[in-house]
């Protein structure tokens, strides 16, 4: 039955954009992109002027001394800045955002899988138009993320390049057990490793293998409680050291990177000891945990905008279940100090937002939240470029404007180092040599 639904899903996705399906990733096109300035994704400053030569789907040359091929299409963005396509290392493109918590919960139960797939394709397009050409999607269901990844890859629908998890892996009753908060027996059986819910190291390995079998590019675990789950405290550890060791060991053996949802301190430490590649959120981590991250080279992906979005709902008087309100306030009270300490200690910081907790397309607001807490603007820009590319293991393909990299290029007005909120006003988007947005077309 699931395979039939997946087939219907792909047919629905294919109906959205037949034109894109006929385009072969920029083949046969040469562009010269010009702007007043450029950020290459790695340096500590901008360069002037900005110039990027694109041949087919790759960057051929950059900088003022680059040779301009005859017959190339020139796109001059004027007083703007060229940057590598933004990367978001923590999204949920298959989750629809809603201000109405109760309606959103009902929609998850009532909407068919094909309808959810159509919603997801809309989220993907909005994300791409906001300048995000690559995302790490860290939790889905019904193989929606796999279908969306494949449809984008094949040019059926517009969207960012996706690395997907299939399911996030967690314990019974934990943050990754989506049945938490519903009455026993409602869904006919208890959630199991096929849905990412495990108990014990052997089931942990089995769940990793199942995710790998069905298309996972990476493995996501829930090492602690979460803000939006109804049956746990936000900071409690939810996987044993042995379970986390098994998950990370199995994932790395399969050449899959790992990420751990971890607000709580003890759960984060267990994940770091296991060799996790990144800690997501990290709200309650203490200096010892941050020192461990520094020692192991573990990335922090802070997802600041997720907490701010929930704060907005609370301030507006929108309904959230009382346990979620309490956990939101606790996480917000702790996360700013944690982030500042991580900066001071030189912990590697990646860019990720938890898109879906807030409205898709607002991803770039994370930049100013990082800067507001003390991060230098150029470092914030780098976090969504070369830093995230390294985290995803794609540094040989994306994350920098340099010859040989895929032609993922965005343009923002003015100087984003002087005002990092310019990243929220993307005027140009190119992915793999295809122009998806040019708000300054002449």
Residue 344: predicted pLDDT: 98
Three-class SS of the chain: CHHHHHHHHHHHHHCCCCCHHHCCCCCCCEEEEEECEECCCCCCCCECCEEEEEECCEEEEECCCCCCCCCCEEEECCCEEEEECEEEEEECCCCCCCCCHHHHHHHHHHCCHHHHHHHHHHHHHHHHHCCEEEEEECCCCCCHHHHHHHHHHCCCCCCCEEEECCCEEEECCCCCCCCCCCCCCCCCCCCCHHHCEECCHHHHHHHHHHHHHCCCCEEEEECECCCCCCCCCCCCECCCHHHHHHHHHHHHHCCCEEEEEECCHHHHHHHHHHCCCEEEECCCCCHHHHHHHHHHCCEEECCHHHHHHHHHHHHHCCCCCHHHHHHHHHHHHHHHHHHHHHHHHCCCECCCCCECCCCCCCCCHHHHHHHHCCCCHHHHHHHHHHHHHHHHCCCCCCCCCCCCCECCEEEEECCCCCCHHHHHCCCEEEECCEEEEECCCC
**Cα 289 from chain centre:** 23
Handedness of CA 235, 196, 153, 125 (dihedral sign): negative
For the chain, 442 residues long, the average pLDDT of each consecutive 10-residue run is 42 38 64 97 96 96 90 95 98 94 89 95 98 96 96 97 96 88 82 92 98 97 94 94 98 98 97 98 98 98 96 95 95 96 98 97 98 98 98 98 98 98 98 95 50
What is the C-alpha separation between 151 and 260, in angstroms, rounded?
A: 27
Residue 25: predicted pLDDT: 64
Rounded to two decimals, the pTM is 0.92
Residue 70: predicted pLDDT: 87
Residue 299: predicted pLDDT: 98
What is the C-alpha separation between 164 and 171, in angstroms, rounded?
A: 20
């Amino acid at each position: 039955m699931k395979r039939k639904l997946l087939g219907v899903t792909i047919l629905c996705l294919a109906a959205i954009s037949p034109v894109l399906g006929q385009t072969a990733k920029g083949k046969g096109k040469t562009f010269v992109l010009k702007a007043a300035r450029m950020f290459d994704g790695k340096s500590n400053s901008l360069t002037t002027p900005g110039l990027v030569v694109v041949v087919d789907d790759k960057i051929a040359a950059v900088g003022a001394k680059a040779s301009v091929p005859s017959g190339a299409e020139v796109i001059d963005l004027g007083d703007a800045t060229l940057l590598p396509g933004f990367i978001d290392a923590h999204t949920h493109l298959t989750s629809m955002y809603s201000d109405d918590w109760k309606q959103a919960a009902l929609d998850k139960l009532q909407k068919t899988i094909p309808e959810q797939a159509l919603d997801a394709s809309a989220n993907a397009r909005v994300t791409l138009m906001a300048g995000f050409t690559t995302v790490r999607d860290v939790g889905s269901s019904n193989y929606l993320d796999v279908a969306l990844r494949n449809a984008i890859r094949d040019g059926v629908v517009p969207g960012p390049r996706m690395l997907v998890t299939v399911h996030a892996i967690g314990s019974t009753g934990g943050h990754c057990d989506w049945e938490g908060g519903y009455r026993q027996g409602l869904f006919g059986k208890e959630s199991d490793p096929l849905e990412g819910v495990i108990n014990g190291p052997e089931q942990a390995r089995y769940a990793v293998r199942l995710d790998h079998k069905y298309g996972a590019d990476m493995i996501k675990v829930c090492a602690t409680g979460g803000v939006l789950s109804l049956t746990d405290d936000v900071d409690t550890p939810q996987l044993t050291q042995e379970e986390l060791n098994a998950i990370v060991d199995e994932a790395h053996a399969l050449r899959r990177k790992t990420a751990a949802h971890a607000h709580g301190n003890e759960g984060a430490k267990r994940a770091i000891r296991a060799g996790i590649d990144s800690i997501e959120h990290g709200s309650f981590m203490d200096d010892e945990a941050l020192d461990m991250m520094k020692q192991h080279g573990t990335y922090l992906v802070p997802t600041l905008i997720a907490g701010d979005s929930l704060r907005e709902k609370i301030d507006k008087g929108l309904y959230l279940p009382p346990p979620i309100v309490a956990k939101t306030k606790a996480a917000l009270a702790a996360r700013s100090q944690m982030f500042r300490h991580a900066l001071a200690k030189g912990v590697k910081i990646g860019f990720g937002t938890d898109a879906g907790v807030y409205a898709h397309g607002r991803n770039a607001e994370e930049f100013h939240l990082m800067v507001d807490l003390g991060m230098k603007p150029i470092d914030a820009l780098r976090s969504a470029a070369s830093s995230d590319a390294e985290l995803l293991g794609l540094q040989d393909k994306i994350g920098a404007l340099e010859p040989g990299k895929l032609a993922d290029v965005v343009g923002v007005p003015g100087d984003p180092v002087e005002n990092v909120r310019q990243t929220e006003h993307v005027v140009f988007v190119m992915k793999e040599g295809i122009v998806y947005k040019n708000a300054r077309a002449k």
